[in-house]
C-alpha cells in the first residue's frame, strides 16, 4: 500500500483502523497485522491498578496492540472520544499526549448523543487551542464545506468528515457533498472517518479522491475480522489506484465498445420476428 | 481526609501530609520501588501531574484524582 504524507510526516498506509470492539485481543492484533494501517486509534480511560496490569499482561489488549503496531509499521492515534465540550477535549488531549508520547490527536467533540454528530463550534474552539499547544490535530467533523475549510485554515493538516454516523455502516450518505468537498478543497488531505460498513464503500471513498479512510466496526464486528481487514486493505488500495488512473466520465447513452467496421453480413440482415 | 479517586470517594487515614506518590503506591499503581506497573497518567483536579511531581504533590481535602491508562478506541 502506498505511503503519503500529512504535514511533514510519512504515513505508511491509506487505511486507518480502530482498535475497539474485537472479539479478543489476539483477533485485534491479527486484524491490525492484516490491515497494516497507517494509524491505529486508541483512547484513554480511568483504570484501576488491577485493570492496568491486565492490559499489559502477555494476552492483554495493550501488550498485543503495541506488538501489532510495531510490526505493521503503524502509528498510534489517540482520540478524544466521549468529549462534549472543547474544554473536555483539550484536557483529554493533554493527558493523551502525556500517556502516548505523541503530538497527534484525533479530535472528537460530540454535539448530539443520538447521532454522535460532531459539535462544529466546540470542535473549532478545541482545534484552535490544541494547535496553539503544538498538537497535530485531525478533527472528526461533518461534511460541511465551511467547517472543513475553517479547520484547515486554523492549521489542521487534514480533516476527517464522516461518511455516515459512527457505527452505522451506511457508507457514504452524501456523495454530492463529499464530491463538493474534494473539488473545493483540492489541495487538502481529506479522510473519511466513520460510517464505512463495506470494502466497496471504502473503495468508493478512495475513487472520489479521498486520501484515506478510518474505520473500526466493519472490521471488528465481521465474522472473520482478519479476513475483513485484508479485504479493506485491498479495497482501499484498488480505489486509490483507480482514482490515480483516472475514472471514465459517465454517459447517458450506450456506446458500443466493439467497432462497427468489418461486421460480417449476417449482422446487417433485417431481423424478422 | 477524603479524596475522590477515579470518581470513587476514598477516605485516607493519615496523620501527616499525604502525597500523590503515597496514594499511587497504596493503591498498587506504583511498586514499592516507585516503578509503574504499566503506563498511566494522573491528573489532580484536571491538572496533569508528571511522574517527577508525584512526591511533591500533597493531597488536599476533596481533591479529584484521575488515573487514566490506554484503552482500545475507534
Query: A167 labelled as ligand-binding?
Result: yes
Tell me, yes or no, whether A273 lies in a domain.
no
User: A49 a known binding residue?
Assistant: no
Give the bridge partners for A65, in sequence order: none
- Fold for the domain defined by B2-68: Ubiquitin-like (UB roll) (3.10.20)
Cell of A34: 492484516
Q: What's the pLDDT band for A273 if we cut at 50, 70, 90?
A: low
Q: How confident is the model over B8-26, as pLDDT tens digits?
A: 999 998 778 899 999 999 9
Q: What is the pLDDT of residue B19?
A: 94
Q: Look at A130 and A261; give whichever has higher pLDDT.
A: A130
- Given the residues A106, A179, A198, A263, select the one marked as catalytic: A106
Domain with A82, as residue range(s), is: 4-267
The reply to whether A63 falls in a domain is yes
For B72, the closest of A19, A51, A95 (CB atoms) is A19
Is A194 part of any known ligand binding site? yes
Distance CA A61, CA A263 (A): 66
Confirm whether A106 is domain-assigned: yes
User: How confident is the model at residue A21, as a pLDDT?
Assistant: 95
**pLDDT grade for A211, boundaries at 50, 70 and 90:** very high
Q: Which residues of A touch B (CB under 8 A)?
A: 18-22, 28, 41-53, 55-56, 61-62, 65, 78-79, 81, 91, 94-95, 98-100, 166-167, 216-217
The yes-or-no verdict on residue A267 having pLDDT over 90 is no
Question: What are the residue ranges spanned by the domains of chain B?
Answer: 2-68
Kindly report the CATH number assigned to the domain that includes residue A115.
3.20.20.70
Query: How many domains does chain A fold into?
Result: 1
HSE toward the beta carbon, residue B62, CA cutoff 13 A: 0
SS3 label, residue A146? helix
**What mean pLDDT do residues A151-164 have?**
98
Q: Which residues of B touch A216 (CB under 8 A)?
A: 74
The neighbouring-strand residues paired with B48 are: B43
pLDDT at A271 over 90: no
pLDDT above 70 as % of chain A: 97
Partner residue facing A95 (CB), from B28, B68, B71: B68
Phi, psi of A65, rounded to the nearest 5 degrees: -60, -45
Phi, psi values for residue A46, rounded to 5°: -60, 135
Q: What angle do CA A140, A46, A59 make, to 5 degrees?
A: 90
Note whether A79 contacts B73, CB cutoff 8 Å. Answer: yes
Question: What confidence tens digit (pLDDT) does each residue in A216-258 have?
Answer: 999 999 999 999 999 999 999 999 999 999 999 999 999 989 9
**B10/A contact by beta carbon, under 8 A:** no
pLDDT at A181 over 70: yes
Enter the C-alpha cell of residue A163: 461518511
Active-site residue, A106 included: yes
Q: Which helix (H) or strand (E) segment is A229 a member of?
A: helix A225-245
pLDDT in tens, A86-101: 999 999 999 999 999 9
The CA-CA-CA angle for residues B3, B4, B7, to 5°, reads: 170
Least confident of A60-64, A190-194, A217-221, A252-256: A60-64
Amino acid at each position: 500500500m502506498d505511503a503519503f504524507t500529512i504535514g511533514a510526516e510519512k504515513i505508511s498506509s491509506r487505511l486507518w483502523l480502530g482498535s475497539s470492539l474485537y472479539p479478543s485481543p489476539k483477533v485485534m492484533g491479527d486484524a491490525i497485522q492484516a490491515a497494516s494501517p497507517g494509524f491505529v486509534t486508541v483512547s484513554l480511560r480511568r483504570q484501576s491498578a488491577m485493570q492496568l496490569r491486565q492490559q499489559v499482561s502477555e494476552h492483554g489488549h495493550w501488550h498485543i496492540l503495541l506488538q501489532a503496531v510495531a510490526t505493521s509499521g503503524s502509528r498510534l492515534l489517540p482520540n478524544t472520544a466521549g468529549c462534549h465540550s472543547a474544554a473536555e477535549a483539550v484536557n483529554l488531549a493533554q493527558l493523551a499526549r502525556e500517556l502516548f508520547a505523541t503530538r497527534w490527536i484525533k479530535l472528537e467533540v460530540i454535539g448530539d448523543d443520538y447521532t454522535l454528530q460532531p459539535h462544529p463550534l466546540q470542535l473549532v474552539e478545541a482545534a484552535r487551542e490544541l494547535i496553539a499547544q503544538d498538537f497535530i490535530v485531525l478533527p472528526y467533523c461533518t461534511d460541511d464545506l465551511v467547517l472543513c475549510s475553517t479547520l484547515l485554515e486554523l492549521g489542521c493538516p487534514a480533516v476527517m468528515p464522516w461518511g455516515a454516523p459512527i457505527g452505522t455502516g451506511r457508507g457514504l450518505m452524501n456523495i454530492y457533498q463529499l464530491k463538493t468537498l474534494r473539488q473545493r478543497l483540492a489541495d487538502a488531505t481529506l479522510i473519511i472517518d466513520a460510517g464505512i460498513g463495506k470494502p466497496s464503500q471504502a473503495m468508493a471513498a478512495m475513487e472520489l479522491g479521498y486520501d484515506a479512510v478510518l474505520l473500526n466496526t466493519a472490521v471488528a464486528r465481521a465474522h472473520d475480522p482478519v479476513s475483513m481487514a485484508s479485504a479493506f486493505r485491498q479495497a482501499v488500495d484498488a480505489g486509490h489506484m483507480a482514482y490515480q488512473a483516472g475514472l471514465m466520465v459517465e454517459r447517458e447513452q450506450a456506446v458500443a465498445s466493439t467497432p462497427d467496421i468489418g461486421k460480417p453480413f449476417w449482422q446487417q440482415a433485417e431481423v424478422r420476428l | 481526609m477524603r479524596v475522590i479517586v477515579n470518581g470513587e470517594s476514598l477516605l485516607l487515614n493519615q496523620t501527616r501530609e499525604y502525597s500523590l506518590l503515597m496514594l499511587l503506591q497504596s493503591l498498587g499503581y506504583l511498586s514499592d520501588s516507585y516503578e509503574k506497573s504499566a503506563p498511566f497518567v494522573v491528573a489532580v483536579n484536571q491538572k496533569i501531574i508528571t511522574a517527577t511531581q508525584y512526591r511533591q504533590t500533597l493531597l488536599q481535602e476533596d481533591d479529584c484524582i484521575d488515573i487514566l491508562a490506554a484503552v482500545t478506541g475507534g
